[in-house]
Chain A
């Protein structure tokens, strides 16, 4: 691309739709930028408007609510072999031009000292538009109704004097984003989220047990219809009863047993021991000073046996409703479903267009930023374990002596994403194909490279749980993003399990 091409940027249409109040403003800002676009080989502008509203009731008392409004721009400039970025909340013409200047300054430095030629980055020309389908908008219910709902959840949690703390919350988040580029890209995305959740704490003597749920351990795109989808009110009393029951439950045995993980724990297991090891930027070494490297190496793709034949893993940002359902990633690569692991064999890593160009490996549309003030890096999007066959009872029926674990409470894994240890809030013994009593403080540990090969049962489509994590952290500077995960309950053979105590 020549410099004159870069100045002939696409015209930005303006519009103001219901449910996306800031899009017209973003388009106006983009138009200003385009009219004064930097003289360079290529540029992109990513504008992000984020509005949030957080409501919480704890022990029947309304906590201070918080309305958030964030708006800013990320400018990237490519000049010669270098690229640089600048982020600013000053969206005036002068502010945008100053940001472009700073980005160009860094591009010139990187042209001398850079790790690779910035022209490796494919110039995006995607034109796309995506909006979260919302059945019941956040604004459709008045504040008083939402607070009444939270109070009802509080009452459902406060069932016993051993309950020491309890709370319920509702958070709305709307991200409106416009990405334009000198090569013609124009991607408009409006992502809506309503996150409900409840948490309850029980105590007796020196034993404290917590349960959380009602949407707290994941989430979905969408509006207030998520309250029903995620079991917000229905979960509350059950969780409180379980927290109390766990106080007197025996410790989870320390042993080698079969293990069934429920979908919300499977989300963590997939995230930490499949998702992170498959990230191309880790494999390329970018993350070694912070998030770490990977036991997966480039030559493994195409033949490495990651798991048993029951293991099928996809990256699918096209599924409606999951946390990272989008039209394109933050570099403008169109979203597409890709198979990463097929019948246990590793096929494809997770990584955006730039990492693909650097590594010569295939990848996924998954270069994302946490906000306007951070540059995109390789992330998981919707990383899912495909369902198999049968019910949860069918899985339990295959176990002579085992443990079922539900709801993550502790996660730890080495910097190569191999030696892991996870803890769950609730465990249940399995004996002779039957679910038995509760056990408390359940945990398990293993090696990613071996664990997935012990996968012996995968629940059917009717058992699929859709959720994810809301705080996936990596990158320098640091970034925390949402990641979607869907999985059925799964059975693993001969896993080291343990309980609490000294």
Chain B
């Protein structure tokens, strides 16, 4: 759907409003190719064309929402939209006033179109990958195409955000669970990058062939590469910064807020709306600030405040939801090239997996090591390890036992596709810790 078609649909739906009714229309859609790979061959391939419209009908202090899939035919979509507005109108007659209703009453506009980029045909990119990975046991997913988000209201809001991108997320298996993982995502496809990464991974597989070391439970020095740090940040995103979770004492950062625990002063976390991969507006029409500082030099900064929580607790809106989607962790001063030497002896953890709260009151997280995790001695990678479970507090890993953050950071675009292709991203350094507690 084009922005013009979307805005026209919103105008025609708004034309049917009565009295003081207000209508917000939020569009989300994608045209995507997906190719699964296993054993370096195509397992399952296809295309998804999806577009959905969410209608929020407001009358005075009452509101109700409806969502439906757009067919793309203007008359069909208009008819279904009008039918649903009729159902919402009936519903509003029964609903009480909503004390936490909040929307931007001043109309705003914004058109974020990406510069034309060179996305390859999906079949061409996949063929390149399969050829480059000849002889390897490659498994993964290619996803590419357009992602669109739109907002229009009867008050005059008009916003559009569109990105064409690709996300290639793959791993190379040696045997059993011994594997290396990589990804290549962005907006400009360069097959040389895939060739280069596969060359590096082929060398890594040689180390992976060495007999794996089985560790006993205990505390080990460790370097957490950015993908592993991303898993820990994912835990913080789960209730760590949402204003409602803070005001209802549910946040796993309760002890940080109460001053009973702290992160290391080198930990500064921001939600970087200005990164621009996510829309710069909320569904209620609020324009997002460029950045929100969540953790400021180890201390708690600001919460993420969506429109509803903002009204409930009297805080200005600074996010579309209470969970960060463009997170960045400030870098440190450890050159990536010196990580192994500084680690000396311990674990080089490439990825963590399946994290969950072990005790949220202590910000204690459990999870598993996965892809590309090695034993290091005297600054040299020795061998892979059998997967291990950790159970440790973030107040330790990002606080009392933090030794260094790398100077370089990695921008990682989310490969998640549960509710359509995600536009979330993180910008993270690696983290060196004096100890991580392994339990099983």
* Given A143-B94, A419-B389, A445-B440, A61 and B100 contact (CB-CB distance below 8 Å): yes
Query: From B124, which residue of chain A is reached at the shortest CB distance?
Result: A109
> Which of B41, B254, B370 is A113 in contact with, Cβ under 8 Å?
B41
Please report which residues of chain B, range 280-295, place their CB below 8 angstroms from some CB of chain A when the two chains form the complex.
Answer: none
* A414 pairs with B94, CB closer than 8 A: no
Contact code string A279-295 (vs B, CB < 8 Å = 1, else 0): 00000111011101100
**Count of B interface residues, CB-CB < 8 Å:** 94
A208 contacts B360, C-beta separation under 8 Å: yes
Choose among B41, B76, B84, B173 the residue that contacts A67 (Cβ–Cβ < 8 A).
B84
Chain A residues with CB below 8 A from B171, complex form: 288-289
Interchain CA distance A206-B360 in the complex, whole Å: 10
A113-B41, A113-B127 given as contacts; is B417 within 8 A of A67 (CB)? Answer: no
Nearest Cβ distance between residue B228 and chain A, in whole angstroms? 14
Inter-subunit contact B173/A412 (CB<8 Å): no
Cα–Cα distance between A145 and B131 once the two chains are bound (Å): 62
Is there a chain A Cβ closer than 8 Å to B70's Cβ? yes
B260 at the interface (CB under 8 A from A): yes
* Contact between chains at B126 and A113 (CB < 8 Å): yes
Shortest distance from the beta carbon of B397 to any chain A beta carbon, whole Å: 13
When distances are taken between beta carbons in the complex, the residues of chain A under 8 Å from B99 are 61
Contact with B along A24-60 (1 / 0, CB 8 A): 0000000000000000000000000000000000000
CB of B91 closer than 8 Å to a CB of A:
yes
Bound form: Cα–Cα A44–B428 in Å: 44
CA distance A447 to B87 in the complex (A): 52
The answer to whether B139 touches A86, judged by C-beta atoms less than 8 angstroms apart, is: no
| B11 part of interface (Cβ distance < 8 Å) | no
A165 near B250 with CB under 8 A, answer yes
Which positions 35-76 of chain B face chain A at CB distance < 8 Å? 36-39, 41-52, 56, 63-73, 76
Q: Does A210 contact B (CB under 8 A)?
A: yes
Q: Are B88 and A67 in contact (CB under 8 A)?
A: yes
Provide the bound-state CA to CA distance between A285 and B177, in Å: 10
User: Cβ of B322 < 8 Å from any Cβ of A?
Assistant: no
Contact status A70-B42, CB under 8 Å = no
Which residue of A142, A412, A414, A477 contacts B143 across the interface (Cβ within 8 Å)?
A477
Query: Which of B147-155, B158-166, B335-343, B350-358 lies at the interface with chain A?
Result: B350-358
Is the C-beta of B80 less than 8 angstroms from some C-beta in chain A? yes
B358 and A410 contact, CB distance less than 8 A? yes
Pair A477/B34 contact, Cβ less than 8 Å: yes
Least Cβ–Cβ distance between B76 and chain A, in angstroms = 8
Q: Is A453 on the interface with B (CB-CB < 8 A)?
A: no
CA distance A147 to B98 in the complex (A): 14
Q: Is the CB of A103 within 8 A of B46?
A: yes
Q: Is A140 engaged at the interface, CB distance under 8 Å to the other chain?
A: no
Chain B CB within 8 A of A304 CB = no
Asked if B370 contacts A415 (CB within 8 A), the reply is yes
Number of interface residues of A (CB under 8 A): 84
Say how far B309's CB is from chain A's closest CB, in angstroms. 11
Please name the residue on chain A nearest to B76 by beta carbon: A92
B141 within 8 A of A: yes
B220 at the interface (CB under 8 A from A): no
Contacts of B354 in A (CB 8 A): 412-415
Given contacts A208-B360, A285-B139, A414-B354, contact A478 B387 (CB under 8 A): no
Q: How many Å from the CB of B21 to the closest CB on chain A?
A: 15
Central interface residue in A64, A447, A500, by most chain B CB within 10 Å: A64
- A362 on the interface (CB 8 Å rule)? no
Select which of A289, A443, A477, A478 is within 8 A of B358 by beta carbon: A443
B94 and A88 contact, CB distance less than 8 A: no
Taken together as a complex, chains A and B put the C-alpha atoms of A165 and B246 apart, in Å, by: 11
Tell whether A390 is near chain B: CB-to-CB under 8 Å: no
- CA gap between A289 and B415 in the complex, in Å: 11
Cβ B80 vs Cβ A69 within 8 A = yes
* A284 B42 Cβ-Cβ under 8 A: no
Across the interface, A412 reaches (CB within 8 A) one of B258, B356, B418, namely B356
Q: Is the CB of B141 within 8 A of A102?
A: no
A115 at the A/B interface (Cβ < 8 Å)?
A: yes
Does B176 make an interface contact (CB < 8 A)? yes
In B378-408, which residues have CB < 8 Å from any A CB?
387-389, 391, 393
Q: Are A64 and B260 in contact (CB under 8 A)?
A: no
Report if A397 contacts B (CB, 8 A): no
On whether the beta carbons of B366 and A412 are closer than 8 Å, the reply is yes
B47, A412: Cβ atoms closer than 8 Å: no
Encoded as 1 (CB less than 8 Å from any A CB) or 0, chain B from 358 to 384 comes to 111110101110100000000000000
- Encoded as 1 (CB less than 8 Å from any A CB) or 0, chain B from 165 to 188 comes to 000011101001101010000000
B140 within 8 A of A: yes
Q: Which residues of B contact A61 (CB under 8 A)?
A: 98-100
A66 to B64, CA, bound (A): 7
A10 contacts the other chain (CB 8 A): no
CB of A71 within 8 Å of the partner chain: yes
* Residues from chain A with Cβ under 8 Å of B109 in the complex: none
Q: Does A441 contact B (CB under 8 A)?
A: yes
8 A-B pairs within 8 Å (CB atoms) are namely A67-B64, A68-B67, A88-B49, A164-B249, A285-B139, A286-B139, A414-B389, A476-B36
Interface residues of B (CB under 8 A from A): 32, 34, 36-39, 41-52, 56, 63-73, 76, 80, 84, 87-88, 91, 94-96, 98-100, 123, 126-127, 130, 137, 139-141, 143, 169-171, 173, 176-177, 179, 181, 244, 248-250, 254-255, 258, 260, 308, 353-362, 364, 366-368, 370, 387-389, 391, 393, 416-418, 421, 439-440
Other than the given A68-B67, A92-B73, 5 more pairs (CB < 8 A) read A67-B91, A87-B50, A91-B71, A99-B49, A143-B94
The 5 closest A-B pairs by CB, nearest first: A85-B46, A500-B359, A203-B249, A476-B141, A165-B248
| Chain A residues near B (Cβ < 8 Å) | 61-62, 64-72, 76, 84-92, 95, 99, 102-103, 105-106, 109-110, 113-115, 142-144, 147, 164-165, 201, 203, 205-208, 210, 284-286, 288-290, 292-293, 373-375, 377, 409-416, 419, 421, 423, 441, 443, 445-447, 473, 476-480, 496, 499-502
